[in-house]
Amino acid sequence: MPISSRDVRSAADRMGFGSGLVMVHGSLASFGRVRGGAPSVLGGLLEERGRTVMVPAFSWAFGVPRPRSLAPLARNGVDPGFRGPTGGVGRVFTPECGEVDRDMGAVAAALVGMPGAARGAHPLNSLAAAGPMGDALVSTQSLLDVYAPIRALAAHGGFILLMGVGLDSMTALHAAEELAGRRPFRRWANGPDGQAVTVAVGGCSRGFGAFAEILAGIEQRDRVGDSLWRAFSARDVLCLCAAAIRENPELTRCDRAGCTRCADAIAGGPV
């Protein structure tokens, strides 16, 4: 039987989201059949509840090489000699462009396209939100403070919801890395004047499944169609995971031999 927006709304109510804030990472395919597709999922999360929903709306395609006038940074999560991507050469990101990386998923793309949705001005790692507090959340994001909206989410008692995806999709764990003392990596994209600007970004997330045991005590679970929902208090995620990283920095290392981003993050990030 196809999933409807009513099914989504009922699950959100069971999880106690109320009229609060929820950061969503989701796979539309995980549900099975959804009547109305991604807009229906968003409708179930938003309608009649005064709820605010935030999603990652990354757009790595706007990345440009490090300007030649800038010396390479040590421990910046790049292999020697690599200056950066070229997809953004000659292009300028704007929050209104509507462009989102495909791996963000259909739900994130649908939210970015919603009338009234707000999107941060970060050209590579923007966050987007819809609902009463959407503007207030995403307006805290800046080029070098990429995770400010996640800290604001936590400060307002918000939730993080994984819909059919794993912990390696949870952007808040990068915010926890920063709270633990790690410096985000630096990348470059064109600013409004077409000149390259420096921005902060996260690192490798392949090892984030290691937080499962740490978060097990605060995790709520439900199922909507074939989609496993896992919900967490954003405040608890940041506190517990930042403490775990301080205690064991190796916790975040992925299983890919020689991962430069993991090694440089564990060492503290760029110098």
Mind listing the pLDDT tens digit for each residue in 201-239?
999 999 999 999 999 999 999 999 999 999 999 999 999
> Is residue 215 a contact partner of residue 234, using CB atoms and an 8 Å limit?
no
> Is residue 156 a contact partner of residue 227, using CB atoms and an 8 Å limit?
no
> Is residue 238 a contact partner of residue 154, using CB atoms and an 8 Å limit?
yes
Alpha helices in the chain (DSSP H): 5-14, 37-46, 106-112, 134-138, 148-155, 172-179, 212-215, 234-247, 260-266
Q: Check the CA dihedral 240-252-78-27 and report its sign.
A: negative
**28 pLDDT more than 80:** yes
Q: Which residues fall within 8 angstroms of residue 129, CB to CB, at 6 or more apart?
A: 52, 53, 54, 55, 111, 117, 118, 119, 135, 137, 138, 149
pLDDT value for 80: 84
**90 pLDDT more than 80:** yes
Instruction: Say how far apart CA 258 and CA 198 lie, in whole Å.
Output: 26
Confidence band for 72, pLDDT divided at 50, 70 and 90: very high
pLDDT in tens, 92-149: 999 999 999 999 999 999 999 999 999 999 999 999 999 999 999 999 999 999 999 9
Beta strand pairing call for 227-233 and 159-163: antiparallel
The mean predicted confidence, pLDDT, of the chain is 96
**49 pLDDT more than 80:** no
pLDDT value for 51: 96
pLDDT: which is higher, 81 or 134: 134
User: Would you call 1 exposed, middle or buried from its count of C-beta atoms within 10 A (0-12, 13-18, 19+)?
Assistant: exposed
Q: What pTM was computed for the model? A: 0.96
